[in-house]
């Protein structure tokens, strides 16, 4: 019996259980992965994206630096990105086939694996705040559509007229997509057609992890389509005993591959290095399915990965003792 107990104990230790000593406070952000080519982006556009990611990093890291929680850092950073028209989340959400904006978001707390999400909402200014309210103020994980909006309203989350989400360039992207669908030329290129989902992962002074993701979905989507961003285990996952993950890319493939959880499971059960787990899932497993995109990942020791199989991913990181870094290609 003693030998059996020792064996079980040694197995448990190899399953990536949280260690007593956590790494340095860290915040990692993505602003979407996709066909990002330097030649298609002006210097002004590149600066605008980098500046906004840097702003979100600064706000979130400041919370961590002042002893705030990973959860708060994730939320406040995502709100900054949701309020910017640059990204496909919140204000900058893309349009559905019928010319509307349907937004999704999710949040997960690595301390207890509590999670909340909303999907297909049209009037919630900051869906990530509604996702947190679902996690903290309801017995549920995922609410959608009108019900999610009613819940958010009752929870005191700011509600806006749907016109708030209108941006001219996103509307023009919809028109191009519709023309392409009809067999038109569709040869006009934009900086951002297929990407822009935002996500954040954080590690705080208490050694707790959190992850969050927010998106407007895909241009020209129909039938109430919901991607991976509000799906716990696909678009978002956080567990102090493994890692925190936020995904961006072809949502259907991330759902089928349970990408966020797959990375966490490799870390937890195979004791795989975080970067190797991310690389394996994004550059092997996801590609084998036919999907493209990327992830940001962070473990309790402060190891992080920003991996993608596309031409670029808006991304940045700030870790204690190191300079803030923002990258695109």
Q: Residue written as tokens 């999704």?
A: 104
Residue 189: band (very low, low, confident or very high) from pLDDT cuts 50, 70, 90: very low
Q: What pLDDT digit, counting tens, does each position of 73-84 carry?
A: 999 999 999 999
pLDDT at position 184: 54
Q: Reduced to 3 states, what is the DSSP secondary structure of residue 215?
A: strand
Alpha-carbon distances, residue 27 vs 5, 202, 308 (angstroms): 38, 5, 18
Q: For residue 169, is it left (φ>0), alpha (ψ between -120 and 50) or beta?
A: alpha
Query: What is the spatial distance between Cα 320 and Cα 298, in angstroms, rounded to a whole number?
Result: 14
Q: What pLDDT digit, counting tens, does each position of 209-220 carry?
A: 999 999 999 999
pLDDT reading at 264 higher than 50: yes
Q: Is 213 a catalytic residue?
A: no
The residue annotated as part of the active site, out of 96, 197, 215, 310, is 197
The DSSP secondary-structure symbol of 146 reads H
Query: What is the spatial distance between Cα 10 and Cα 15, in angstroms, rounded to a whole number?
Result: 9
Q: What phi and psi values does residue 321 have, to the nearest 5 degrees?
A: 85, 0
* Domains of the chain by start residue, with CATH: 24-327 (3.60.20.30)
Return the structure tokens found at 268.
Answer: 């937890």
Q: What is the pTM of this model?
A: 0.91
Cβ–Cβ < 8 Å for 298, 202: yes
Over range 289-306, report the average pLDDT: 97
């Amino acid at each position: 019996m003693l030998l059996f107990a020792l064996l079980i104990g040694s197995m448990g230790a190899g399953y990536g259980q949280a260690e007593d000593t956590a790494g340095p406070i860290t915040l990692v952000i993505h602003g979407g992965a996709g066909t990002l080519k330097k030649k298609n982006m002006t210097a002004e556009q590149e600066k605008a994206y980098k500046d906004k990611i840097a702003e979100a990093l600064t706000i979130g890291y400041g919370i961590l630096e002042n002893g705030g929680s990973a959860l708060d850092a994730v939320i406040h950073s995502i709100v900054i990105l949701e309020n910017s028209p640059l990204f496909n989340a919140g204000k900058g959400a893309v349009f559905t086939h019928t010319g509307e904006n349907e937004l999704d978001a999710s949040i997960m707390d690595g301390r207890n694996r509590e999670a909340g999400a909303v999907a297909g909402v049209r009037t919630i200014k900051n869906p990530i705040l509604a996702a947190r309210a679902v996690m903290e103020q309801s017995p549920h994980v995922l609410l959608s559509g009108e019900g999610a909006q009613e819940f958010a309203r009752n929870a005191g989350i700011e509600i806006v007229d749907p016109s708030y989400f209108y941006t001219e360039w996103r509307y023009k992207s919809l028109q191009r997509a519709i023309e392409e669908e009809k067999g038109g030329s569709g040869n006009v290129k934009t900086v951002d057609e297929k990407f822009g989902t935002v996500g954040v992962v954080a590690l705080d002074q208490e050694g707790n992890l959190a992850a969050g993701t927010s998106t407007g979905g895909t241009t020209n989507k129909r039938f109430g389509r919901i991607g991976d961003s509000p799906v716990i285990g696909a678009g978002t996952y956080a567990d102090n005993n493994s890692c925190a993950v936020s995904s961006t890319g072809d949502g259907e493939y991330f759902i089928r591959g349970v990408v966020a959880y797959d990375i966490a499971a490799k870390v937890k059960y195979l004791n795989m290095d975080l970067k190797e787990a991310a690389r394996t899932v994004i550059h092997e497993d996801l590609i084998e399915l036919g999907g493209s995109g990327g992830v940001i990942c962070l473990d309790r020791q402060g190891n992080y990965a920003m991996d993608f199989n596309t031409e670029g991913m808006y991304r940045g990181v700030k870790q204690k003792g190191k300079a803030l870094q923002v990258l695109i290609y």
